[in-house]
Amino acid sequence: MRKTFVYRTALAVLALLLLLGAAVSVWWYAQYRNRLVNPHGSRPLLIVESARKLSDEYDVIVAGTDPEGIAAAVSAARNGLHVLLADGRNRTMLGGLTTEGGLNVLDLNFAPEQPKFLSTLRKPRFLNKGIFQEWYDRLEGNAFDTTTAANAFYEMVRDEPNIDLLMNVKEWKPIVARAGGRANVTGMELTKEDGSKAAIRSRAVIDATQDGDIYAAAGASYTFGREDIGDKKSLMASTLIFKMSGVTQAVWETMGKHADTGIDRMSIWGYKEAAEYKPSDPGKVRLRGLNIGRQNDGTILINAMQLFGVDPTDPASVREGLAVGKREAPRIAAFLKTRFPEFKDLEYAGTAAELYTRESRHLDGEYRLSLADVMENRTHWDDIAYGSYAVDIQSTSGGAAGTILMSPKQYGVPFRCLVPAVTDGLLVVGRSASFDTVPHGSARVVPLGMATGEAAGAAAKLAIERGISFAALSQSTEGIAELRQMLVKQGMDLTPYHIKTPAYMLHKQYKGLLVAAGMYLTSGGHSNDGWNLDGPTNVQRFVNNVRQVRDLHPDKFKGDFSRLLNGISEPAKLPLSLGEAASLLLRAVGGAGPSQDDALADLVSRGWVTKETLDTIGDPSHLTNGDVYMLIRDVAERGLGLAFRDGE
């Protein structure tokens, strides 16, 4: 009897397991089969309404309705502050770059540790979380419908009774009081849509404009573009995102089958051959590989057009850039239809309302994020956000090609990066905060910007409550500890992961690499394995390296570069010796120099090359890339007086 019971029980368990296995298999197959299907339909755009009546005074004014500004306003409001959120760009929806600008594919800050079991079917883990995560969870995915994004932003703002929203501000400027050599922002003067003016006082202002317009008007110090590395003429390219229609599910899946192209439910990336496009004006516009974001109405948004010579802080330049892009977009669409069979049935459907501008002002804050901070995955005592997106340097107006410089695991962004060094009453969030131009290639992305916005909103509450300035808060270990606790309580994750020291940091010539990377002499790529420090260099490559340094600092080089290689046959095949490198450096800097035999002694006697650098060189007759980077660092610092910031 007992054996029969055990037997029947075993059969029942086996049947249950088989049934469960079959159910899991069916579910798995359905998930796999539908992995590229967008189940979401189009929804109407919510009508954005401004507050009917404004107060004469607020706790906080947030200038800018991009994602960073919305995060700042929501954070401040949830902390009990009365907030005015103002838009100064004549927008019809909230979200700025991600909606009006059409940037519907996010550059994400992934956490170092991701789910491993069934990872393709589980949600990824992001750094920071908080208000960004709250918004992201309302979207279709890492690419999203712009109406979905705009409605989610508006609902988050509308649901906060402490926020007054004011759209279509025609003009604005900070109200600034000056005392003791410092400026103090005490509110903003606004010209409303109907032409009426209002001087609104506030206890704090948060600059969430893309280009730092408020802090610039308040007199805060900043650098522009790549000025901090010596390049005073270049900015990363702007982009006008354009739309094509007619994308059925069959077309979507066919597009994703193109060689060397990736696809998921909402985005496609690849089509490197798009760079073959012949622009109408190569000096102003160019096409690169395609980043494609799907919409719910059968259209796609394409991020690929590069516009050069656009100054985001000059309205006339922006208008001209927009006009150039609008003229070029239908030509590009026609090229795609001809060049790629997958596009033949699609139709051009217009452009975004705003340019996607990547770079302009960089605040001089109480601290500036350095390349070393990012490459070394540093944490700081006052971190209020973390980043991990690759250092993505786009092509520039100066003609430099774009590159992925390297990929950090996780680096901290100090609160001090939001605090202007000489201006009180003001915090700065987003891409124009206090980041050096090179690490800005990573820190400029929307998810990190929203984290800085959330931190700024909470910091306003804490500073007002304590009756202290933001500068004082930025120096208070106790105050920052409380700020971090506040952020964690409202849903942010500020736990730094333990990051293994990157292999390149353990190299004996890492100091040289850090300088070389900061001047774009080398890059590590997505996997950080492209530095090739121990690889052999040659005479031609060395001259190219020195010429690139000269291009950043032309006033430091008096030599005639057209004559540096005179008398040298096939320099690209000629190994570089230490003597040759020393001679070329002296000639590049001064126009004349001693023989190879005496050049190195000359550099050493001047103090331009250190014993530390010479000790890292293994074979003086065949220099490596790492050897060259160390020499360039020495001569640049000690001979030319250039300063390279390593952060703290």
- pLDDT one-digit tens code per residue, 368-395: 999 999 999 999 999 999 999 999 999 9
Q: Indicate the pLDDT class of residue 121, thresholds 50, 70 and 90.
A: low
Q: What is the pLDDT of residues 500-548, one digit of tens each?
A: 999 999 999 999 999 999 999 999 999 999 999 999 999 999 999 999 9
**Spatial separation of the C-alpha atoms in residues 253 and 376, rounded to whole Å:** 40
Q: What is the pLDDT of residues 263-315, one digit of tens each?
A: 999 999 999 999 999 999 999 999 999 999 999 999 999 999 999 999 999 99
Q: Indicate the pLDDT class of residue 210, thresholds 50, 70 and 90.
A: very high
Q: What is the pLDDT of residues 235-253, one digit of tens each?
A: 999 999 999 999 999 999 9
**Mean pLDDT of the chain, nearest integer:** 93
Torsion angle defined by CA atoms of residues 607, 612, 613 and 618, in that order, rounded to the nearest 10 degrees: 140
Q: For position 28, what pLDDT does the model report? A: 47
Q: For position 180, what pLDDT does the model report? A: 74
Q: For position 401, what pLDDT does the model report? A: 79
Q: For position 106, what pLDDT does the model report? A: 96
Neighbours of 155 (CB within 10 A): 14
Give 312 or 4, the one with higher predicted confidence. Answer: 312
Domain boundaries, the chain: 53-234+362-497, 242-351, 503-639
Mean pLDDT of all residues in 257-264: 96
CA-to-CA separations, 375 to 100, 400, 498, 501, 616, in angstroms, rounded: 33, 22, 15, 10, 21
CATH architecture type of domain 53-234+362-497: 3-Layer(bba) Sandwich (3.50)
Q: What is the pLDDT of residues 405-451, one digit of tens each?
A: 999 999 999 999 999 999 999 999 999 999 999 999 999 999 999 99
Neighbours of 315 (CB within 10 A): 9
Q: For position 563, what pLDDT does the model report? A: 87
**Spatial separation of the C-alpha atoms in residues 187 and 313, rounded to whole Å:** 22
Q: What is the pLDDT of residues 5-52, one digit of tens each?
A: 666 666 666 666 666 665 545 444 455 557 899 999 999 999 999 999
Q: Is the pLDDT of residue 176 over 60?
A: yes
Residue 262 dihedral angles phi and psi, to the nearest 5°: -105, 155
Helix axes 625-634, 539-552, angle to 10 degrees: 30
